[in-house]
Amino acid sequence: MDSGSSQPREEDDGFCSISDSDRQYIETLLQSETSVESEADADSVLTAAWWLESERKDIIKWILHKRVEFEYTEHTAYLSALYFDRFLARFVVNDVEHRVMLRLVVIACLSLAAKKEEFEAMALGEHVGERNYLFELNSIKKVELKVLEALEWRMHMVTPFIFFDYFAALFIVKRSDHRDLIGKANRLVLSIMEDIDVARHRPSVVAAAAVMAAHDKCMSREALESKFDEVPSWDDDDMQNAVSCYSRMQGIMELGTPESVVLDNVAFAVDDSASTSKGTKRRLHFD
């Protein structure tokens, strides 16, 4: 038989595929996700207090804005939010006055994520000036240590983006659609960060929902469940969470493109009354 007559599956039928070694690696990650998720054992930050939910939305928008400004990757932005939500899961924030502290925490989270993931992370001084506030660099460094302690110094965390190729292959997505699909899935993951506590959602759940929403935003619940039923190591709760995430992404696409959400130029909303005088900034430091 002519050796040139046999071609890999992806060349024959036009569907995305991954190697056996990559598949095994991803399925190992799927099995290990349960132990990671069990660490988020506190109440969700989205149900802690009405003002905290609103504050967190502004914080996520700030992360997304800085990602664009600093040209950071989607992974860095998601990792920043993951650090932030895991920090809040371990510290009680029950006072509106703590919102200044939260700005300090998210700056530390973005700085740490960038140091972990980016080849050229911005200098710490580029992060600290926010409208009416100027934080001392030493204060940021101290909070970075607090965040690291809350994370138990485990900065490496799995994010949804590593699962995209696996789910594109598992759900039989055409290779010709692959690049466009991954781009849409990236934006959908970022766009849903405001609405979910990322520390309490398995990355694979968010990834599967994003891949399916990018592939087809009009799928029925039955069709989704049929697809998600193919994912190894998932239980019924994971499947329902994936359907819920898909529904949220579907709503985002109906309201507008994911790009309009991700690229929204939103800075922290800080009252002018918080400054010492109009047009000036308060220089803050925390012990």
Closest CA to 188 of 82, 264, 262: 262
Q: What percent of the chain has pLDDT over 90?
A: 35
Least confident of 42-51, 192-201, 207-216, 277-286: 277-286
Helix axes 20-37, 203-215, angle to 10 degrees: 120
Q: Per residue in 84-112, pLDDT tens? A: 999 888 876 666 567 778 888 999 999 99
Mean pLDDT of 20-32: 88
pLDDT value for 2: 45
Domains by residue range for the chain, with CATH: 40-157+269-284 (1.10.472.10), 158-262 (1.10.472)
pLDDT value for 286: 38
Q: What confidence category does residue 282 fall into, taking pLDDT thresholds of 50, 70 and 90?
A: very low
pTM across the whole model: 0.79
pLDDT value for 287: 41
Q: How far apart are CA 214 and CA 249, in angstroms?
A: 9
Distance separating the N- and C-terminal Cα atoms of the chain = 76
pLDDT value for 134: 57
Per the CB < 8 A criterion, the answer to whether 48 and 92 are in contact is: no
Mean pLDDT of 245-250: 94
